[in-house]
Amino acid sequence: MFRTSMNKTVRFAVRQLCSTSHVPHVCVVGAGPAGFYAAMHLAKNINSIKIDIIEKLPVPFGLVRYGVAPDHPEVKNCINQFTKLAKQKNINFYGNITLGQDITLSKLRQHYDAILLTYGAEEDRTLSIENETARNIIAARNFVGWYNGHPRDKNLKVDLSGNKAAIIGQGNVALDVARILLSPIDQLKKTDITEYALQAISESKINELYLVGRRGPLQVAFTIKELREQLKLKNCQTIWRENDFIGVEDVVNNLQRPRKRLTELMLKSLKEQKSQTCSAHEKTFRPIFFRSPNKFLVNNGSVSGIELTCNKLVGDKLEDQKCVATEDKEILNCNLVFRSIGYKSIKADEALVFNSSGCVSNENGRVIEDHTTEELAKLYVAGWLGTGPAGVIIHTMSNAFQVAKNICSDLQTGTGSHRDGFDGVRKHLNIPIVDWNGWEKIDKYEVDQGKKSDKPREKVTCINKMLDIATK
Ligand code: FAD
Ligand code: NAP
């Protein structure tokens, strides 16, 4: 039955729905934060609901497990809430099932009253410039997956033997990558970073890391907490280019609060750098602004530098100013490049229609379709797949709650068919399926492995091994 956040009319309707013994059966596709938070809202508001969470990997939690940096364990606390939910009798987790590969959307829709798509944004955006596929130009997405043990990225080839590296993009993912590369190894040892990444990073020769932004200090996408962490890294000095900050002090007081505090921190750090001597530090972190990569320079198939175009900004509102290329170019020599310019969603199933922002077309989470029929489950979307690949977990949570609220109110107007849910879906599948019990076996195995080296866990990175452990 609906509880707190439902209005009286909806509560009454759903109570009726339950008393006529119709049990709404909902399928959530994607076991990341959007999927879990939406399921949490649905389960809280409709007592009798049955929810099946279908996930591509044998393990749950999406980017909480495979995106969030290993040195940010507190961010992963939401896993405790998700686990509590998954243990409820009416909630089922079915891992190792890929929408669009193991089962089509149209098949799935025959077995449920509603389908909520929350399969995230699994690809990364590219620059589409010359030599982008050269060796040692790495998508931040893959590097993050590599240090976090994503099965897709476990064999990533990343050569850390050169001393100069550059990251393109100035968002929080870029800062995660920078911090992992520049942190003292003792700081990483006690985290759940994969053993192979720890070993490679401990041997890394990178001591000069550039963070290349196409716009200026007033437009950076990273946030203050993440910058503060970077500035506090031991044995690493941040070196800004003074010219990049011309005019910034004049406008700082007019900025909105979060942007103002962030800018003040950059200005403070710029002032401090003048009184510091570089020799005391092993490594340097060098943000540079107003530069876009024009092409990559290559030596023997491997990146040797970036030709940068110098930009100027145009537009009235500071934060929304756009960059425009000038005639000027600059060369940045480096042996390794990370492209960190954002993620993008893929069309997992050909029946899906995407909008011009690269998300499943929707209105408040209700998928916009040309035509559908009563026999098919209603379709919804939440999280990065519906909003675009921006926002932290708390933003994803409020979007998921909002979409779930809409699902609740739509379910009350449903006719109350009796869908067979996963019992019906299972008949279409001929693959090993990992349920919550199976995940708990993997979880225990990882935690036990981690104990050997005083880490919270050592992740299993091979799908077959996950399946072995889960089905024993
Ligand atoms: P996801 O978390 O990506 O979940 C999608 C799920 O769907 C995954 O489990 C995936 O395996 C599954 N899936 C994909 N395709 C299919 C398919 N075809 N069939 C079935 N399942 C499928 N936010 C913070 O608050 N703090 C942080 O420190 C933080 N760090 C981040 C670090 C990185 C590198 C990134 C990229 C993001 C970070 N975020 C952080 C943001 C946060 O991770 C997102 O807001 C959130 O994960 C989005 O949730 P989602 O459920 O939409 O997508
Ligand atoms: P993001 O915040 O959107 O940053 C993308 C960066 O790439 C921006 O600096 C952007 O510059 C730049 N960029 C985009 N296209 C470019 C191009 N063609 N050429 C050059 N630069 C380009 O994306 P993200 O870093 O992938 O992060 C995704 C979301 O996850 C964000 O909301 C982030 O806050 C969140 N996240 C949070 C944490 C955390 O809380 N610790 C950690 C990681 C991620 P412009 O601004 O000029 O477009």
Q: What ranges do the domains of the chain cover? A: 3-122+345-433, 124-140+160-183+200-339
Residue 51 DSSP SS3:
strand
CA distance 174 to 154: 20
Tell me the fold of 124-140+160-183+200-339: FAD/NAD(P)-binding domain (3.50.50)
CATH code for 3-122+345-433? Answer: 3.40.50.720
The pLDDT value recorded for residue 318 is 86
Beta bridge pairs of residue 211: 167, 287
Ligand 2 mean position to 401 CA, how many Å?
24
The pLDDT value recorded for residue 278 is 60
Ligand 1 mean position to 392 CA, how many Å?
10
CA distance 263 to 373: 53
Q: Is there a common fold for 3-122+345-433 and 124-140+160-183+200-339? A: no
Ligand 2 pocket, mutate which of 64, 170, 341 (most atoms under 8 A from CB): 341
Compute and round to an integer the Cα radius of gyration of the chain.
Answer: 24
**Distance, CA of 423 to chain centre:** 31
The pLDDT value recorded for residue 455 is 97
Residue with CA closest to ligand 1 atom 9: 62
Q: Are 211 and 306 in contact (CB under 8 A)?
A: no
Ligand 1 pocket by Cβ (under 6 Å): 29-35, 54-57, 62-63, 67-68, 72, 75, 98-100, 118-120, 122, 144, 173, 176, 343, 348, 383-384, 391-393, 396
The pLDDT value recorded for residue 418 is 78
List, for the chain, all residue ranges whose pLDDT scores fall below the cut of 50. 1-6, 12-20
- Note the ligand closest to the C-alpha atom of 338: 2
What is the greatest pairwise CA distance in the chain? 76
CA distance 323 to 48: 53
Instruction: Using the atom order of ligand 1, give the atom closest to the CA of residue 60.
Output: 9
The pLDDT value recorded for residue 68 is 98
